[in-house]
Chains A and B, each alone.
Chain A
Amino acid sequence: MKLKVATCSLAGCFGCHMSLLDIDEKLFDLLKVVEFDRSPITDIKHCGPCDIGIVEGGVCNAENVHVLKEFRKNCKVLVAMGACAITGGIPALRNNVDLWDCFQEVYHYGIGLENGQIPNDPELPLPFDKVHPINEVVRIDYFLPGCPPSADAIWKFLTDLAAGHEPKLDYEMLHYD
């Protein structure tokens, strides 16, 4: 039986996913043991029951919460991948800026804006006051730091997990940048 894996990117830059693809030829080895459910790689829109869910990015808006909760509900094991998922990361640099000032700058005063309007379309995800790491919204089982974590680290982590033991990163695989 293959392990079913789902992945998603919330408030992240897809860098962690790029790093995941960086596993290169080992990706084929990986596909021997895992099968991808919802993921940017598969284009499946909603995740079904999975063994492992891997989340890139922190939580910056209401939609992120819906996706994250869907993952938590469906995945036996939930992994926070990368600095943004774990600490808020680069998007959290906005945490010291007032949201109102942000909107003003973007929609009212930004260069080239005239009569800018703040959009109120319900289709648009509503932003939080601050960006939060995902472990502040749901329970997380594993953390895989790095910005992004190296392909080696991801490989080591996933193969450890697939083999059924506690993932352990070597010294050089553990970094926050």
Chain B
Amino acid sequence: MTEHNVCDLPGIVARWGKDPANMVQILRDVQESCGTIPSDTLDQLARLLGVPRVRIEATASFYHFFHAESHGAYEILFSDNIIDHMAGKEALKQYFCERLWLEPRKLSEDGLVYVDDTADIGLADQAPAMLVNGYAVPALDHARLDLIAELIRAKKPLGEWPPMLFEIPDNVRLAGPLMGEPFAPGAALQATLARGAEATLAEIDAANLRGRGGAGFKTATKWASCRKAEGEALLKKHAGPPQVFLGPLGGEPSEARFSGGDHYVVCNADEGEPGTFKDRVLLSSHADLVFEGMTVCARVIGAKQGLIYLRGEYKNLLEKLKSVLARRREANLLGRNILGEQGFDFDIEIHLGAGAYICGEESALIESLEGKPGKPRNRPPFPDRCGYRNQPTVVNNVETFACAAKIAERGGAWFASIGTAQSTGSKLISISGDCQRPGIYEVPFGVTVQQLLIDCGAEDAHAVQVSGPSGTCISYREFDRRIAFEDLPTAGAFMVFSPERDMFEVARNFSHFFAHESCGFCTPCRVGTSLLRNTMDKLAAGKGSAYDMHEMKNIMRILQDMSHCGLGHTAANPVVQTMEKFPDAYEKRLKKLDFEPAFDLDGALTTARLITGRDDEWAHLDND
């Protein structure tokens, strides 16, 4: 059985440099060794780190993977994306719970197992999937669940479970310049050093590389602005004329200690958008390319430290990534005087997330890196001028760094020759859902949806969710559209739905996702996403009316207009778009009446019926 030892707090705190900015990492380690984050631990941490307990508690209670109550020796979290549902997740979860005699969200009576759901864990190509104590297990079926139930009953420590349970194939179906060509670690760095920082930046510019994380911001512009930005000096709010630095507005004071006016390179490996799993594959099999891209960036902007924010769900990649880093240090591709270049010092640290989609948003990610709840900052200033530890920081997606390495190696013109004029290079598409060959497809930008559907074996597709819930839902009428910033921009998700699928249920699943993942900072999103989810549930229960449709439209407009960050701005997309493109899916659910009660009238009498033992005619209400 997985023993939770008494936690060596001073040891953990020391391992993280006694730096409160590493609070999320410290709390992760506490939970890993204790199984929970007990209340008195917060007090001890407060003493050890000199931080008020209330701030530690704010962080500890923000992240989905942290909990104060015991989740037993085995915490099982089922991935809850619509793709998992389509692959039978609900029935399998029920089967599993019955096998172990337990109820979801309730610690089993013997205190051994806890079962719950969690947002998509980046395995949509191998759905349904789960996390066992944070480690991913893909391709669940009855046989695998039987085996897991046996192992749990036998109290086998996770380390003794058959490794095949945790094997995760890459499923690369189509490889291109990023994944298909061999890469010799160091090649891009050598080219960078030979060319010089400025010239390398010019190559990135000439390549017209745009961010792969979704927004498509031009990478060279970001790097150039960060390179130009001054470090520590900017902190002094009014540095005097001529430049007045307009510092960050509001926000919690950073617990971070400033480490000397440095610039930082941050790799966004949060990959939280349901249906996206290309960063998982890049990091699993092409980590050198990603780390090399970060090091090239460090050279260009003058950074000494890099951080990679790896989503907690990808904990299984941690050891592998650490060994790649170690190998690169040995090869002098990281560390001091990299490749013999005097003064070129750079190293990379890995931070793990703890279950919060919002931490993919770059300023929330930085807050999380600084040990705080992942709530987006007020912007401007943007991270390129005021990011990690309030220093100039480049935040890029995993794939963006991989591209940057390739460009540094092979030049901007080569890269620009692939794809379209506005969307150069290749794009990694993560295909899942109703298709014969789910997996990674590396294609040149400009490819049509139709072509991708043919490639993956989904000729009868009815709809595709491009770029995840926050992206675009397209119907079979639009399959000639192209994957490109100028048409269908995407972070990579491509979820396929056959004609039998109910697009209302797809949108409802996504509305639950956003309500669960809203950080709660701003009113429109905190309340609006929950109102939207509740109304979708009302429709699903067959109790919707035209009035509810009208209400949802207003709530969705407010979400789009008034929210603080991209999560709120896009949280309505799935419902807005399915309403427009698949109106029947909604209309068939509406009752004829123009108005339906907001709650289940008869259901609201259940308790009183139980208490009084009544079941007469007057103890019931018609629900219409």
Contacts and interface: CB of A to CB of B under 8 A. Distances in A.
Given A62-B621, A136-B598, 11 more contacts: A62-B620, A65-B621, A99-B608, A122-B614, A122-B619, A126-B605, A129-B607, A137-B598, A138-B595, A138-B597, A139-B594
Contacts of A139: 547, 594-595
Contact of A122 (B547, B607, B617): B617
A56 B612 CA distance: 28
B611 A103 contact: yes
A125 B618 CA distance: 8
A121 to B, nearest CB: 9
B379 interface: no
A122 B616 contact: yes
Interface in A84-110: 99-100, 103
A59 to B, nearest CB: 9
A17 interface: no
A62 B618 contact: yes
B175 interface: no
Nearest to A69: B622
Contacts of A137: 597-598, 601
Contact of B607 (A62, A100, A120): A100
Contacts of B614: 120, 122, 126
A176 interface: no
A132 interface: yes
A119 B614 CA distance: 10
A99 B611 contact: yes
Contacts of A103: 611
A126 B601 contact: no
Interface residues of B, number: 23
A120 B604 contact: no
Interface residues on A, range: 20 to 34
Contacts of A123: 618
B613 interface: yes
A122 to B, nearest CB: 4
B609 to A, nearest CB: 7
Contacts of B604: 128-130
Contacts of A100: 607, 611
A132 B616 CA distance: 23
A122 B621 CA distance: 13
Interface in B581-615: 594-595, 597-599, 601, 604-609, 611-614
Contacts of A1: none
With most chain A CB atoms within 10 A of its CB, the pick from B547, B594, B616, B618 is: B618
A118 interface: yes
Contacts of B611: 99-100, 103, 118
Nearest to B602: A62
Contacts of A119: 612
A130 B608 CA distance: 11
Nearest to B603: A129
A40 interface: no
Contacts of B595: 138-139
B605 A118 contact: no
Contacts of B609: 126
A123 B595 CA distance: 29
B550 to A, nearest CB: 11
7 A-B pairs with least C-beta separation: A136-B598, A139-B595, A122-B616, A120-B612, A128-B604, A126-B608, A99-B607
Given A100-B611, A126-B619, A136-B599, A62 B605 contact: yes
Contacts of B613: 120
13 contacts: A62-B618, A63-B618, A99-B608, A120-B612, A120-B613, A122-B617, A125-B618, A126-B618, A129-B604, A129-B608, A132-B598, A137-B598, A138-B597
Contacts of A129: 604-608
Contacts of A116: none
A137 B545 CA distance: 13
Contacts of B598: 132, 136-137
A118 B612 CA distance: 6
Nearest to B610: A100
With most chain B CB atoms within 10 A of its CB, the pick from A103, A122, A126, A136 is: A126
Contacts of A128: 604-605, 608
A147 B612 CA distance: 33
A123 B616 CA distance: 10
B602 to A, nearest CB: 9
A137 B620 CA distance: 15
Nearest to A140: B595
Contacts of A125: 618
A119 B619 CA distance: 13
A122 B618 contact: yes
A125 B616 CA distance: 11
Nearest to B614: A120
A175 B341 CA distance: 73
Contacts of B607: 99-100, 129
A103 B613 CA distance: 13
B620 to A, nearest CB: 8
A130 B616 CA distance: 21
B551 to A, nearest CB: 12
Interface string A58-73: 0000110100000000
Contacts of B616: 122
Contacts of B547: 139
A65 B547 CA distance: 19
A126 B616 CA distance: 10
A127 B601 contact: no
Interface in B303-328: none
A48 B601 CA distance: 24
A127 B609 CA distance: 9
A123 to B, nearest CB: 8
A172 B153 CA distance: 68
Contacts of A118: 611-612
B158 to A, nearest CB: 40
A65 B611 CA distance: 20
Contacts of B608: 99, 126-129
A122 B612 CA distance: 10
Contacts of B599: 132, 136
A138 B547 CA distance: 11
Contacts of A122: 614, 616-619
A127 B606 CA distance: 10
Interface string A131-168: 01000111100000000000000000000000000000
Nearest to A127: B608
Given A128-B605, A138-B595, A139-B547, A62 B612 contact: no
